Amino acid sequence: MTVTTAVAKTVDARGLSCPLPIVKTALAIRELASGQLIEVLATDPGSTKDFAAWSKTTGNVLVESSVDGAVFRYVLIKK
């Protein structure tokens, strides 16, 4: 698996509630190749725990979980 540092795809889930940030990410990540990076922007406060859990269940590695104001940013590497 070759990991690239550039974000290959961004999912804008701002303003969306559970389970949309996760479901939309799951749909989007299918279009990526293994090792590619996906970025997710969300405003749902529950998404921090959700993305950590989702990363654990799917094996897609969560490399960044940050917050800037009211916007959460997650970066995952496709397994």
Q: Which residues bind another protein (CB under 8 A)?
A: 15-20, 22-27, 44, 54, 57-59
Q: Which of 18, 52, 53, 63 is catalytic?
A: 18
**Any residues with CB less than 8 A from the CB of 41 and at least 6 apart, and which?**
10, 11, 12, 13, 14, 71, 72, 73
Contacts of 1 (CB under 8 A, 6+ apart): 34, 35, 79
Q: State yes or no: is 31 an active-site residue.
A: no
| In the complex, least distance from residue 12 CB atom to another protein, rounded to whole angstroms | 12
Q: Which is nearer to another protein, 5 or 9 (CB)?
A: 9
- Our CB check for another protein shows the closer of 3 and 79 to be 79
